[in-house]
């Protein structure tokens, strides 16, 4: 397993946000965590990335426990996150944002090469590379956030609500990119409120409710599950 | 000619305010703390330089050692006093900063005594030139130029280098910066080191103009540099530079043109500027209005 999360408990002050959650991500997979607002999805990703520390439980990445490592070390081991709300650096230029994505790398030529790659994947970013990232549209900002995370050459990419606040057309575009990134060999852990969309790109899914996993299985199985349909797919799938 | 001389005086004191203001503004930018102990770091720098000069060390190495010493000192203060409070309310950190300020002043009094010590006259033996009936020492001009060079170097570092870009990233969004693999603690230490080093540099320039070293010498320049930082827009590096120079020139010109006997009024003018800025444009000359993070 590339990532195994084993019965972690995470608190926000006194709030028990994540209860005994366990799940796994194998190399090459797209795994999704779905669930309503407040189910603890973002908390889980923040904990994997090292921004939050679990009170108990272990997180193993490539067999090594990482739950007590600082965030910057976790990134160095090959695990990057596209955070909720994009969190791009609005006062930095597009290019500087991408360079910050490659902050831990020292291979200058490789970085230049990957800058070119991101610009060919996201031509809009190339046009705007010297603009402040704050001037970008929502969709462009999301693309920048993904491109920035990819600049660290992660083996595992965590994506937190990449569809949030985007038009349906842009959402399609973003999900096409996610599939593309996965086909290039990057394992993806995707957190989404839009369950149908998430399950349509994922291999497997875990359904969360108030900090607990209530169901898991293959994405195709979950997509047709009556309970999931009723709760998350608006019954229309 | 008299005006020109006063303008040079203003630029000299302004460059000192600007250098100190940079420390305020950089620290504020990165951890949102008004480091009220910053003026006292300058005082520590002055004592350090004084000790080195009195022991026969030439001015350039004395200046560099004093800057390095203060840089390390700044890092230590941040680690001991501010880092444990990083997740607490900003008010707790602010009160701690005032505490650190008092601690430094009293520690200096304990170590060096409360009597003022005289800083060696560095202008001695340096050429000066005449402007009308006033003579201006070449060192005054050199110190202004040097201060400007240092500020340009800082601006280039912050905008062009990878470490400087990381600093701006941390100041905008600490968590996101950490997700990029930036070591936030190191970046904060670096900020304190640069700010404190600049304060030591300012201390030496200050002692050239006012050759007296006392435990409280950092208080007034510290407050004025803080006003300069607010005037320019706190958190904005070029703002601190511009604010410092504007404040210095205003102060020098008020001192020069109000009747003698009322020269203390120049301080009142400086504080009035703070009040006006806070009333009219709280974000400062170069600051953008704060957006609340959601």
Residue B288 lies in a domain: no
Closest by Cβ to A89, choosing from B176, B178, B183: B176
ipTM confidence: 0.91
C-beta separation of B209 from B46 below 8 A: no
Band the pLDDT of B94: cuts 50, 70, 90.
very high
State how far residue B37 is from chain A, nearest Cα, in angstroms: 29
SS3 B105: helix
Burial class of A97 by CB neighbour count within 10 A (0 to 12, 13 to 18, 19+)? buried
CATH number at residue B137: 1.10.3470
Cβ within 8 Å, pair B178-A70: yes
Chain A residue whose CA is closest to B160: A96
Residue B122 pLDDT greater than 70, yes or no: yes
Chain B CB contacts of A13 under 8 Å are none
Q: Is the pLDDT of residue B289 over 70?
A: no
Containing B140, the helix (H) or strand (E) segment is helix B138-160
Q: Please check whether residue B113 lies inside any domain of the structure.
A: yes
Query: What domains can be seen in chain A, in order of their start residue?
Result: 3-87+155-232 (3.40.50.300)
Give pLDDT, residue A234: 59
Helices (H), A23-134: 41-49, 71-76, 94-101, 108-121, 123-127
Domain, as residue range, for B230: 2-280
Whether the per-residue pLDDT at B218 is higher than 90: the answer is yes
Closest CA to B247 of B11, B8, B44: B11
> What percentage of chain B has pLDDT greater than the value 70?
98
Q: Does B292 touch chain A (CB under 8 A)?
A: no
- Candidates A49, A100, A104; nearest CB to B169: A100
Inter-chain contact B181–A92, Cβ cutoff 8 Å? no
What does each of the 237 residues of chain A score in pLDDT, given as a tens digit?
A: 999 999 999 998 889 999 999 999 999 999 999 988 888 999 999 999 999 999 999 999 999 999 999 999 999 999 999 999 999 999 999 999 999 999 999 999 999 999 999 999 999 999 999 999 999 999 999 999 999 999 999 999 999 999 998 999 999 999 999 999 999 999 999 999 888 899 999 999 999 988 889 999 999 999 988 888 777 765 443
Question: Is there a domain that residue B294 lies in?
Answer: no
With cut-offs at 50, 70 and 90, classify the pLDDT of residue B294. Answer: very low
Residue B178 lies in a domain: yes
pLDDT interval class at B288 (50, 70, 90):
confident
Return the pLDDT at B291.
54
Q: Which chain B residues are Cβ-neighbours of A76 within 8 angstroms?
A: 181
How high is the pLDDT of residue B157?
97
How many structural domains does chain B have?
A: 1
Residue A92 with chain B: CB contacts under 8 Å: 165, 168-169, 172
What's the pLDDT score for residue B223? 96
Quick: pLDDT tens for B6-57: 999 999 999 999 999 999 999 999 999 999 999 999 999 999 999 999 999 9
**B218 inside domain:** yes
Overall size of chain B counted in residues:
294
Q: What pLDDT does B293 receive?
A: 43
C-beta atoms of A87 and B169 within 8 A: no
pLDDT at B64: 97
Are B172 and A90 in contact (CB < 8 Å)?
A: yes
Distances (CA, A) of A208 to A21, A213, A214: 9, 4, 6
Chain A residues closer than 8 Å to B178 by CB: 50-51, 70-72
Note whether residue B235 is domain-resident.
yes
Residue A237: per-residue pLDDT = 37
Q: Contact B176/A99, CB-based, under 8 Å? A: no
In a domain, B292, yes or no: no
Which residues from chain A sit within 8 angstroms of residue B180, using beta carbons?
Answer: 75, 100-101, 103-104, 148, 152
Position A233 scores a pLDDT of: 64
Tell me if A152 sits within 8 A of B180, measured CB to CB: yes
| Residue A152 in tokens | 């660290």
């Amino acid at each position: 397993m590339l990532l195994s999360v084993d019965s972690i408990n995470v608190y926000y002050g006194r709030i028990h946000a994540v209860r005994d959650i366990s799940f796994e991500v194998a190399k090459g997979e797209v795994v999704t965590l779905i669930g309503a607002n407040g189910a603890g999805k973002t908390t889980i990703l923040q904990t994997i990335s090292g921004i939050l520390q679990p009170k108990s439980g272990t997180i193993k990445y490539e067999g090594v426990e990482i739950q007590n490592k600082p965030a910057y070390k976790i990134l160095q081991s090959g695990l990057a996150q596209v955070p909720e709300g994009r969190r791009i650096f609005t006062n930095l230029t597009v290019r500087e944002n991408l360079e910050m994505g490659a902050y831990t790398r020292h291979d200058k030529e490789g970085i230049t090469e990957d800058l070119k790659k991101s610009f060919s994947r996201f031509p809009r970013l190339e046009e705007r590379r010297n603009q402040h990232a704050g001037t970008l549209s929502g969709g462009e900002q999301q693309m920048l956030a993904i491109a920035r995370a990819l600049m660290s050459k992660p083996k595992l990419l965590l994506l937190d609500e990449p569809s949030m606040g985007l038009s349906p057309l842009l959402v399609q575009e973003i999900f096409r990119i996610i599939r593309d990134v996965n086909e290039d060999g990057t394992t993806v852990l995707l957190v989404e409120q839009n369950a149908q969309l998430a399950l349509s790109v994922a291999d497997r899914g875990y359904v969360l409710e108030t900090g607990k996993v209530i169901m898991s299985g293959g994405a195709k199985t979950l997509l047709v599950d009556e309970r999931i349909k009723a709760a998350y797919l608006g019954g229309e799938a | 000619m008299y005006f020109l001389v006063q303008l040079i005086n203003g630029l000299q004191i302004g460059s000192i305010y600007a250098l100190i203001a940079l420390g305020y503004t950089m620290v504020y930018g990165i951890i949102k703390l008004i480091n009220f102990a910053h003026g006292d770091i300058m005082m520590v720098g002055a004592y350090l330089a004084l000790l080195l000069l009195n022991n026969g060390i030439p001015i350039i190495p004395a200046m560099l050692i004093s800057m390095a010493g203060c840089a390390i000192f700044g890092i230590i203060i941040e680690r001991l006093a501010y880092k444990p409070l990083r997740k607490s309310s900003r008010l707790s950190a602010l009160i701690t900063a005032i505490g650190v300020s008092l601690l430094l002043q009293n520690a200096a009094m304990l170590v060096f005594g409360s009597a003022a010590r005289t800083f060696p006259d560095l202008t001695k033996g340096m050429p000066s030139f005449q402007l009308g009936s006033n003579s201006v020492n070449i060192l005054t001009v050199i110190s202004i130029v040097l201060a400007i060079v240092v500020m340009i170097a800082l601006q280039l570092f912050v905008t062009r280098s990878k470490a400087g870009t990381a600093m701006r990233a941390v100041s905008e969004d600490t968590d996101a910066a950490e997700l990029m693999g930036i070591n936030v603690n190191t970046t904060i230490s670096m900020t304190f080191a640069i700010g404190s080093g600049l304060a030591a540099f300012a201390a030496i320039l200050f002692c050239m103009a006012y050759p007296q070293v006392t435990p409280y010498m950092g208080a007034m320049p510290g407050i004025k540099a803080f006003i300069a930082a607010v005037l320019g827009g706190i958190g904005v590096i070029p703002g601190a530079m511009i604010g410092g120079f504007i404040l210095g020139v205003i102060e020098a010109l008020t001192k020069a043109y109000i009747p003698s006997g009322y020269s203390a009024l120049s301080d009142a003018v400086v504080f009035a500027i703070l009040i006006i800025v806070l009333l009219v444009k709280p974000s400062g000359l170069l600051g953008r209005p704060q957006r609340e993070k959601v």
